[in-house]
Each structure stands twice: as structure tokens, then as C-alpha cells.
Chains A and B, each alone.
Chain A
Amino acid sequence: MTHHHDNEADGISRRHALECMIWAGTGVLWTISAGVPVSLSLLGAAQAAEALATGFTFLQISDSHIGFDKAANPHAIDTLKEAIGKIQALPQKPAFMIHTGDITHLSKAAQFDNAAQIIGGAGFDVHYVPGEHDLIDDGNGQAYLDRYGKGTKGAGWYSFDQNGVHFIGLVNVVNLKAGGLGNLGADQLAWLADDLKAVTASTPIVVFAHIPLWAVYPEWGWGTDDAAQALALLKRFGSVTILNGHIHQIMQKVEGNVTFHTARSTAFPQPAPGTAASPGPMTVPAGQLRSLLGTSSVTLKQGGQDLAIIDSTLA
């Protein structure tokens, strides 16, 4: 881990707090600083401490795949429990959590139940969007909507405001077309246009959806066909942060006022684009697994639009 500055005078040191933050990248912990969401792992220790003391933070977890028991991680339920345990231990609580989909592996009732019990155990409000693994029950997604669809539109999209930030949860895993990528669809795009009408251009926007809303690697399906239309609607806003999951690794890109960021999975890693025969679960030696479920962040540095990369492992 980098960017640690010990200061013994701090008592329960900032270093300790920051370590917990890093652990939370099971969880990526975000804070709104000067109206721009920044990942805490990027901030210097002093800034992080200040943000923790005064700021508004929320936490992203993704791809828990409850029910997955294959070689890449026979105990996906245990690594989710570990992640939640670390989140519970945070000295400064996030305001809420978002889950960017693939809560379950196979949309089975018991898997949804287990996930809800473990994630709910952290004691935070959780705002969900579905991944494709959450919509493969016999009702083609009804099981997800029965649990998480309250107050949402269509396949489960919605927006809400908190601390001056406008949050938008999108669904890009339904009505997928042959040969295509993720899909938002005309109905959702029309809703988004309408939803944004009342939002001022200076309001920070956070969009979260399962599949990346940028073309990470279309050869593996890592992108969304009609994302450009959503991004066009977001163009007039000064700060747009787009949080995704699906690819089980951290990637980040900045384009104008838009920061794209994908979170790690709590279940199993997937290979970097093009480095394996397929994007399937990547089996690593057991001792390395947690280092790949932990956080290593690629983060937008506030002010300058440059990217900073902090590699930090849980190992």
C-alpha cells in the first residue's frame, strides 16, 4: 500500500483508518469532496482523514455471485462475509452502499436470501442494480424485481438524491440482442432524459449499472451498445461518475467530465482483457485470491483530469 504517512500523534491513527478503507475495496469507498466523487484510497492521509470526518461517503460492492462454488473460489459466500465484516469495522460509516449487480450466481431464492442476510448484516441502506446473473430465475427477472424492484421503473432503474448528489441506477442486462453488448433500451433512455430534466448542470451525477458503460473490451462483451445515448444526455453536467461491475477488476477511464470506474468482485477475479481464452473465472493459487478481491484502485485525481493508480493488495 502506498500513500501512508504515519503520524503517531493521531492516536487511533489515520493509517489505521486508511487501511480499513483499502480493505473496503471489497468495497470501493467513495467520498464527495468539493462536489466531485473521489475514491478515498487516492487521497493523501490527511485529506482522507478530513473527508472521513466531514464528508459524505458511500461504498460500492459488486459481483458477490452468491452460489458460486467453482475452483476460482469455492467459498464466495465467505469472501462476501469477510468484505462485509471489514465494512462493519470501518471507523467512519458510509452513508449507504450500492451494489452493482450479480448479487447471486444463478438467481436462486436461497442465493438471494443468503446475499440479503450477509449484506444486510452491515446495517446500511443498499441500492441495487441487477447483473445478468440476477435475472435467470424461471420468471426471467421477476425474483429480482420482487426483492429489489420497489419504487423502480421498468426492469429496475431509478434515481435518488443524497447530499446534493443525483444518483441514477441503470439496468443494462435485459433484452440483450444477438451479437450485441449490454443494452439500456429506448424506454430506459427516455426515462433518463426525463429524469435529468429537473437536475441542474452543477449537480454531481453518479450513475451505476452492472456492465461497463464504456467499451472496455467488446470482444468479451464488456461494453454497452447504447451507452453513447446515455452519455449524450449527461454531457451538460460538470461532474459525472459512472460506477460499474461485471468485469471483476478495477478499470478507470476519464473522458471530459465523465469518470468511468469498475469495481472488483468479492467472489472471484476475471482475467485482464484479451489475456485468456475467455473472460471466465480466473483460478489463482489460493494464497493469491484475496489479493485479487482486494482493492487496487485506478482513480481520478481531483482537479487535474489525470489518472492515478494505487496498487494495494489485501495480502
Chain B
Amino acid sequence: MIRFPSRVLVVSPVPFGLAAILIMVAMPLNAADQPMVKIENFAFTPAVLTIKQGTTVTFENDDDIPHLVVANDASFRSKALDTGDTYAFTFTKVGDYAYFCGLHPHMQGRITVAP
């Protein structure tokens, strides 16, 4: 699993000027690279999210009831998330990922992974 590939470049032995440019490019990407899906009031917020390939998405349960994040195609599955628990998954493949709550399957969301 490759997390934050831009950081790998930053610490690699490249000329300082190039590294600086990479950092400048990478920083905003990094911020956008760690999107969060909140689970509150039995809903995923945002319910629809588009990310770049390689991005890690963190799901956080803010309800007083446990929830469980499952991909429709079973490509990812969290454990039961109690109040305040988080689950992070890194999307390494381009595609459309519909997901739902394994305990309350009427709760649904979708993540689109772009190249």
C-alpha cells in the first residue's frame, strides 16, 4: 500500500530546488489527500466524494451507535466503529466505490477515485 507518495519524493536525494517545488505542489495535495467522511445521524457526510488515486479517506463515527463501513464490492470493510472511532482506507485503484453501513444498510455513500 502506498501512502502519500509525494512525501517519498520529498525525502529522496534530489536537488534542493526540485524538492522545494515538489513540497509546494505536494502541500495542498496533502491537505486534500486526507479527506474525512463523517458518520452522523445515520448518514455519511459527504455522501459523495471524489478523490485522487492513492488518497487515504478517514471515516469517523460521531453517532452514539456503532456503524460499519463496507464496500458494495467488498474491496474494503471496517470493523464496527464505536463512537469516536475512525477507519482509514487508501484507495490505490481508480474507480467508483459504492459503500454502505453493514449494520444499517440504508446508509450509503460513494467515493470516486480519479487518476
Contacts and interface: CB of A to CB of B under 8 A. Distances in A.
Contacts of A176: 102-103, 105
Contacts of A133: 66, 103
B98 to A, nearest CB: 7
Nearest to A173: B103
Contacts of B72: 178
Contacts of A136: 66, 68, 79-80, 103
Contacts of B100: 178-179
Interface stretch (A12-20, A193-201, A214-222, A231-239): A214-222
B43 A278 contact: yes
B108 interface: yes
A45 B56 CA distance: 64
Interface in B63-96: 63-66, 68, 70, 72, 79-80, 82-83
Interface string A179-211: 111000000000000000000000000000000
Nearest to B42: A278
**Residue from B41, B64, B68, B72 whose CB has the most chain A CB atoms within 10 Å:** B64
How many A residues are at the interface, by size bracket? Answer: 20 to 34
Contacts of B105: 176-181, 221
B80 A280 contact: no
Interface residues of B, number: 25
**Residue from A132, A220, A279 whose CB has the most chain B CB atoms within 10 Å:** A132
Nearest to B70: A178
A219 B105 CA distance: 11
Interface string A68-79: 001110000000
A74 to B, nearest CB: 11
A55 B65 CA distance: 39
A107 B68 CA distance: 13
**Residue from A106, A218, A280 whose CB has the most chain B CB atoms within 10 Å:** A280
A292 to B, nearest CB: 16
Interface in A11-53: none
A138 interface: yes
B98 A279 contact: no
A105 interface: yes
A278 B43 CA distance: 8
A221 B102 CA distance: 12
Interface in B30-66: 40-43, 63-66
A280 B65 contact: yes
6 contacts: A106-B80, A136-B103, A178-B98, A179-B100, A278-B40, A278-B63
Interface of A: 70-72, 105-107, 132-133, 136, 138, 176-181, 218-221, 277-281
